[in-house]
Structure 1
Amino acid sequence: MPRTERLFELLQILRRHRGPVSGASLAQEMGISLRTLYRDIGALQALGAEIEGEPGVGYVLKPGFMLPPLMFSEEEIEALALGARWVARRTDDSLSRAAGEAMAKIAAVLPDDLRRRLDDASLLVGRGWERPQKVALSLLREAIRTERRLLIVYRDEKGARSERVVWPFLLGFFESTRVLAAWCELRRDFRHFRADRIETAMLEKDRYPRRRQALLKEWRQSLLTEFDNAVAYGQRPRLKERETAMTKELVFYTNPQSRGGIVHWMLEEVGAPYRIEVLEYGTTMKAPDYLAINPMGKVPAIRHGDAVVTECAAICAYLADAFPDAGLAPIPQERGAYYRWLFFAAGPMEAAFSNHAVGWDPDPDRQRMFGYGTYELVIETLANHLKGRKYVAGDRFTAADVYLGSHIGWGMQFGTVPKRPEFEAYWNGLKDRPAHRRSEEQTRKLMAKEAWA
């Protein structure tokens, strides 16, 4: 490598390091001897580069030395082009225009061979999943850039609206959603707001009292040490784990006339993006492609990244764990009642309801062979527990309510569950949840589509 090119590479390496880096590490990275490195450091210092340090201690390049690199490499050009295309397709209009203008400026100083690499379309950014947004991302970015308070109206995953003043300091562009991180004056804590759920936003005139970098530092530390509020897991998931769960493809295999309605409701409660695959009884439900997902040839099932989950109760429990921000599972040390009634519904209750619906109940001398004993015993046990309760497992809504509530609602509708006051009061408190209404509306559309087909 020519010495001039080697000096530029050494500058680039020093720019990447914020703290001192040892001469031995620099020499190893560049593939040169330590003696050559010392000579190169001296040459750069003679050219005006403020490199502080000495042999045996380490070196650091102070900011301000603006000697540009000789030229971009082919891989650097590809990285710039791919990044600009991602910004153009995944952000707001102003950032999209800025990406195009920046690439035009870069192209103007490139030689012909590298300019062609810049225009090469062999690296493609595909279409992403998008939610309609009422508030422009450019407004959120302006609030972050100017460190100003933001008055927002926010709709949470349950459809409840709240007005709050926040101090925004970060906007996360995940593949599946956009998330604003901010200090919330209402909650006196860091909170994360999905951009598609911000219904209105207005910049206030005054700046918030903290510096953005200080908030960012405290927020990063909180991701490792703090606990979520009452509607989430006990241990706050790290940001990388949250992003991973949200960016995995979530596929929902169902038929609108099946138990898939339970999972459909659960998916709407979770609020994560998902794709629906409608399967037909006796044909696509028994096809080899789907039998590889569920050898039983039954729906529903989900595929989340590489994970495949079947059985409604298992899917509900999995989704509650995979998306803890939805707050659909109690903290681990408070899950006794949650597990008990979720699996009571999936085991004794569903077996008793199914057998009774087809007109069969075990003879008295064979009742001990069945986990539920008798249909009447299941009904009494469930009614006694639900009497005076809004939710089945504690004082808030969980995945167990999705599963149990679905069975009770359908059972009373089709006559397999008696319309006792305890059941009616419980179901009336669940059936109008926004997520349940959305899932039912989507199911009606799927049924109409299948009818026309």
Structure 2
Amino acid sequence: MSQAHRLPKLLKMLRHYDDPVSGADLAEALGIPLSVLYKDIAVLRAVGVEIVSEPGQGYVLPPSAQLPPPALSEPTNALSDELIFYTHPLSRGGIVHWMLEELGVPYRLVVLEYGATMHSPDYLAINPMGKVPAIRHGERVVTEAAAICAYLADAFPEAGLAPPLSARDDYYRWLFFAAGPLEAAASLNSLGFQPNAEQRMRLGSGDFATVIEALAAAVNGRRYIAGDAFSAADVYVGSHIGWGMQFGTLPRRPEFEHYWAGLQNRPARQHCEMFIQQALTQ
């Protein structure tokens, strides 16, 4: 059920109760996780709907509460479009999977096998590279994990996974630093290629040691990479740091370990980790 459909239904349920109703009961009745309910309530409050929280009891909608604007009464095209996620559990799709779980929005997961299915005509129409991840959101197709994370953060602003436009300097900088110089330098280094001085000038990634020092300085002493709140940049940068240390493509520096320790136990990431572990046992 899309958020545009859930919000009017949630309001109708709250109007039905004179006494506070628990978040768990509301989430169960709507068939959604409790984390999604919290986000829906935050959206309604943000547009002026007075939903009162009674500590230890639940939520109540006062009789005097104003109705939401008409835009919330009917599904919009953006919110009602189906979101399809193409992935493989042992791929960079894990980054997008984590992002989707942080959003808490409905999506359809399509697992593709390496080889034939990723190179089928149907999927090549989605991504001519024959690689995952990719998403289709209504008629819109987005590939490349960093681009997908940035798109999803903007497509679902109620999740709060992108800073305000006036504060996106570090957000864009480190999101695409990880997608560009970091990934290129780490890949070249893992293949045993050490560029000479002339080659480093021609490569956008420069040399591996310089990239690592820049990234270590960026996360040193910081809980989040782009300000005081968790964002899509943490999903992307954190994934590269976590997996890089696990598989030996990045060094286990104290700066990386401290930053990753603050991210790896997030419920959304743990859910994706279970998906990966199940794939490894099959």
Which range, TM-score by smaller chain? 0.7 to 0.9
Q: Which amino acid in 1 is paired with 2:20?
A: L
Measure the CA separation in 1 of the matches of 2:51 and 2:137: 23
1:359-414, Cα deviation, whole Å (9 max, x unpaired): 11211222110112110000001111211100111111100110010000000001
In structure 2, the CA distance between the partners of 1:143 and 1:416, relative to structure 1 (3 Å rule), is: closer
Q: Which amino acid in 2 is paired with 1:397?
A: F
Measure the CA separation in 2 of the matches of 1:287 and 1:369: 36
| Residue 15 (structure 2) aligns with | 144
Contact 1:182 1:191 in 2 (8 A): no
Q: Which amino acid in 2 is paired with 1:318?
A: Y
In structure 2, the CA distance between the partners of 1:160 and 1:422, relative to structure 1 (3 Å rule), is: farther
SS in 2 for 1:313: helix
1:286-340, Cα deviation, whole Å (9 max, x unpaired): 1111101000011111111100000000000011011111110011111111111
| Residue 427 (structure 1) aligns with | 260
Larger of the two Rg values belongs to structure = 1
Q: Which amino acid in 2 is paired with 1:372?
A: S
In structure 2, the CA distance between the partners of 1:183 and 1:281, relative to structure 1 (3 Å rule), is: closer
In structure 2, the CA distance between the partners of 1:285 and 1:262, relative to structure 1 (3 Å rule), is: same
Measure the CA separation in 1 of the matches of 2:249 and 2:228: 28
Q: Tell me, yes or no, if structure 1 residue 329 matches structure 2 residue 172.
A: no
| Residue 372 (structure 1) aligns with | 205
Superposed, 1:229-308 pairs within 5 Å as 239=72, 243-308=76-141
1:152-207, Cα deviation, whole Å (9 max, x unpaired): 34799895998xxxxxxxxxxxxxxx9669986xx9953789xxxxxx96687xx9
Q: Which amino acid in 1 is paired with 2:176?
A: F
Task: Give, in angstroms, the shift of residue 282 of structure 1.
Answer: 1.4
| Residue 346 (structure 1) aligns with | 179
In structure 2, the CA distance between the partners of 1:149 and 1:181, relative to structure 1 (3 Å rule), is: farther
Measure the CA separation in 2 of the matches of 1:432 and 1:308: 30
In structure 2, the CA distance between the partners of 1:192 and 1:280, relative to structure 1 (3 Å rule), is: farther
| Residue 49 (structure 2) aligns with | 190
Higher-RCO chain (CA-CA 8 Å, sequence separation at least 6): 2
Measure the CA separation in 2 of the matches of 1:192 and 1:202: 10
Task: Give, in angstroms, the shift of residue 211 of structure 1.
Answer: 2.6
Measure the CA separation in 2 of the matches of 1:331 and 1:129: 24
More strand by share: 1
Q: Tell me, yes or no, if structure 1 residue 406 matches structure 2 residue 239.
A: yes
| Residue 278 (structure 2) aligns with | 445
Task: Give, in angstroms, the shift of residue 249 of structure 1.
Answer: 1.0
Gaps of 5+ in 2: 4-8
| Residue 52 (structure 1) aligns with | none
In structure 2, the CA distance between the partners of 1:247 and 1:285, relative to structure 1 (3 Å rule), is: same
% identity of equivalent residues? 51
Measure the CA separation in 2 of the matches of 1:188 and 1:305: 25
More helix by share: 2
1:15-41, Cα deviation, whole Å (9 max, x unpaired): xxxxxxxxxxxxxxxxxxxxxxxxxxx
Contact 2:123 2:130 in 1 (8 A): yes
In structure 2, the CA distance between the partners of 1:313 and 1:188, relative to structure 1 (3 Å rule), is: closer
| Residue 6 (structure 2) aligns with | none
Measure the CA separation in 1 of the matches of 2:192 and 2:13: 66
Measure the CA separation in 2 of the matches of 1:253 and 1:441: 18
Measure the CA separation in 2 of the matches of 1:382 and 1:360: 20
Contact 2:23 2:59 in 1 (8 A): no
Q: Which amino acid in 2 is paired with 1:337?
A: D
In structure 2, the CA distance between the partners of 1:240 and 1:161, relative to structure 1 (3 Å rule), is: closer
| Residue 191 (structure 2) aligns with | 358
Measure the CA separation in 2 of the matches of 1:241 and 1:398: 29
Q: Which amino acid in 1 is paired with 2:185?
A: A
Contact 1:143 1:149 in 2 (8 A): no
Measure the CA separation in 2 of the matches of 1:263 and 1:369: 31
Q: TM-score, normalised by structure 1?
A: 0.53
Superposed, 1:103-118 pairs within 5 Å as none
SS in 1 for 2:242: helix
* Alignment equivalent of 2:230, drawn from 388, 397, 404: 397
SS in 1 for 2:250: coil
SS in 1 for 2:22: strand
Q: Which amino acid in 1 is paired with 2:202?
A: M
Contact 2:23 2:34 in 1 (8 A): no
Contact 1:181 1:192 in 2 (8 A): no
Measure the CA separation in 2 of the matches of 1:191 and 1:434: 29
